[in-house]
Amino acid sequence: MGKMKILFTAYVAFVIYGTLIPFHVVDSLPALLRNVEGVRWLPFWDLHRGRIASIPDMVQNVLLFLPLGILGAHCFGRRLVPTLATGFGLSLLVETLQLLTPNRVSSVNDLVFNTLGTLAGFLLYLRLAPLWPRMVHHPVMREVARVPGALPLLLLMLYSWVYALEPFNFTLDVGVVWWNVRALFRQLLHPRLVLGDEFLLASQFALMGFVAAGVLEKLRIRAAYPLSLLLVALWATVTEMSQLIVASRVASLLTLCFSWLGAAIGVAARGWYILSPRPGRLFVLYALFLLAAHAVDTLSPFVLRESYLRPALLPFRHYQSAYFVSALSNVFHALLVFMPLGYLASHIRLGRARGVLFWTVLLLASVAIELGQGFIAGRYPDVTDCFLPLAGAMIGWHLAGMVRKHGQVLRDPRL
């Protein structure tokens, strides 16, 4: 079974799991009959409220089945009928099983929009699949790939932009933007040292400064180190100030200062690397700093609770009760935390023994940090958050392999 088929099967299992969690089952026949009577048979309309069905719910159903259409199109050889039948059948199965749960409502509207989500994913795959080879072999990409480190630098820039601006709820509402601007200026008048993900951002821009200095050095540009520091600091400023037009984000001068500091550390580390080329030692220092930054972000504001709170052992239990966009943002954020670390680990080609040690330490550290949330007021330890950062590191590892593969293809003089 290929990787995409395994991923397709895993996503089907995830959809079933996510839509039935927390697996409460009706305990009597009358309760089951009440669920059957409560089925919402009319699509696009909510009879209970006398208005159109919830638009956020419809969008949520489309987004949930969108990956199924993309993966199905790949696994079924771009054939619409089996892909659409899988999406419809899975949705029908889920809606039927929800009749057995006391806290779910089966709906024809969900069935319709789940199927539409599968169709949208299928069409999206047909549209985007031919564009990938063209993008990879575009003349601009070929020129970029000829410079060692240029592809990783572009990926780091994209990564920092995504990390800073997700969940991408951009707004042009003058009131919201003006409130964000005033909040930024209030920080100048009333500065406060409240640490969150500032160290994580510092680690990101340190890595970017390190790579940028190497790229400019390969291009034999004069004053490569000061120029790389200036460019990375400018990019940090752009990404931070872009948060002024994001409804759920607030630009922070403290965060910007940490980003600048991280860029300076990264450029300095590049100089140390040239004088004493020991990538293993630099990697260990970066890994320790990233783990410490993750601990600060996860355990702040460091206010102890009266008694230890046991972690939720059912994966995604807390996510199920959250608003869909918020839950998706939390998952996305957790995946991004260790992605650069996994990318670096793959790039420096760890041996088998060191590779096993790396993944073991990363897992144990992630679990320990998450369990530590049980001592912190306002924090809720969840077994899900123990493994999402680890999954992000695995994605980074795989991404590094793809960059090496396409970089070699693009630099092949025969092409």
Looking up tokens 């080329």, which residue turns up?
277
Which of 88, 103, 129 is where one domain is finished? 129
Per-residue pLDDT at 191:
66
Per-residue pLDDT at 334:
85
- The answer on 187 and 79 residing in a single domain is no
CA atoms within 13 A on the CB side of 69: 28
- The answer on 322 and 357 residing in a single domain is yes
Per-residue pLDDT at 51:
67
Can you tell me the distance from the alpha carbon of 228 to that of 215, in angstroms, rounded to the nearest whole number?
A: 9
Amino acid occupying residue 308: Y
Domain that holds residue 25: 3-129
- The answer on 219 and 329 residing in a single domain is yes
Per-residue pLDDT at 415:
40
Which of 112, 129, 146 is where one domain is finished? 129
Which of 129, 147, 178 is where one domain is finished? 129
- The DSSP annotation for 78-114 comes to S-HHHHHHHHHHHHHHHHHHGGG-TT---BHHHHHHH
* Structural domains of the chain, count: 2
- The answer on 168 and 30 residing in a single domain is no
Cis peptide before 22 (omega within 30 of 0): yes
Nearest to 178 by CA among 278, 250, 253, 265: 250
Cis peptide before 130 (omega within 30 of 0): no
pTM of the model: 0.80
Nearest to 39 by CA among 129, 89, 108: 108
Both tokens of 279, joined, read: 């990538």
- The answer on 366 and 224 residing in a single domain is yes
- The answer on 142 and 125 residing in a single domain is no
Per-residue pLDDT at 413:
47
- The answer on 271 and 216 residing in a single domain is yes
| Each residue's pLDDT expressed in tens, for the chain with a length of 415 residues | 577 888 888 899 988 888 888 777 777 777 777 777 777 777 776 666 666 766 777 888 888 899 999 999 988 888 889 999 999 999 999 888 888 888 777 788 888 889 999 999 999 998 888 877 777 666 766 766 677 778 888 888 988 888 888 877 787 778 888 888 888 888 777 766 667 788 999 999 999 999 999 899 888 888 889 999 999 999 999 999 988 888 878 888 888 999 999 999 999 998 888 876 666 788 888 999 999 999 988 888 888 888 888 888 888 777 766 666 677 778 888 888 899 999 888 888 777 888 888 999 999 999 999 899 999 888 888 888 888 889 999 999 988 887 777 665 555 544 4
- The answer on 283 and 356 residing in a single domain is yes
Number of helical (H) and strand (E) elements in the chain, helices listed first: 18, 2
- The answer on 184 and 269 residing in a single domain is yes
- The answer on 78 and 173 residing in a single domain is no
- The answer on 197 and 108 residing in a single domain is no
Per-residue pLDDT at 48:
66
- The residue count of the chain comes to 415
Can you tell me the distance from the alpha carbon of 319 to that of 123, in angstroms, rounded to the nearest whole number?
A: 29
Amino acid occupying residue 11: Y
